[in-house]
């Protein structure tokens, strides 16, 4: 039963990521004709730590536009239909 939960979570994450990517690409392609689809907002998160024996710095950025949010919604809808 536990393996099934892990596979479902992985499937959801892959679907959401691919939906966001496809939506973002679609927004960039349609941007010249529908300008509000190409406007985007960057969200970044930079956790860092400097311990005596370990130092790390990670930079995570997500660039969202209206089309990528639509792709996320479509991917979530597809996931719910798969269940």
Measured in whole angstroms, the distance separating CA 71 from the mean position of its chain's CA atoms is 9
- Distance of alpha carbon 63 from alpha carbon 50, whole angstroms: 28
pLDDT of residue 19: 94
- Distance of alpha carbon 57 from alpha carbon 48, whole angstroms: 4
- Determine the average pLDDT of the residues in 25-52: 89
pLDDT of residue 83: 74
pLDDT-based confidence at residue 3 (cuts at 50, 70, 90) = low
Computed over every residue of the chain, the mean pLDDT equals 88
**pLDDT per residue as tens digits for the range 17-33:** 999 999 999 998 998 99
pLDDT-based confidence at residue 38 (cuts at 50, 70, 90) = confident
């Amino acid at each position: 039963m536990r393996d099934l939960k892990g596979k479902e979570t992985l499937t959801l994450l892959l679907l959401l990521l691919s939906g966001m990517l496809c939506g973002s690409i679609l927004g960039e392609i349609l941007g010249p004709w529908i300008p509000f689809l190409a406007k985007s907002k960057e969200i970044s998160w930079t956790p860092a730590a400097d311990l005596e024996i370990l130092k790390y710095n990670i930079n995570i950025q997500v660039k969202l536009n209206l089309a990528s949010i639509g792709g996320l919604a479509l991917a979530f809808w597809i996931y719910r239909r798969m269940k």
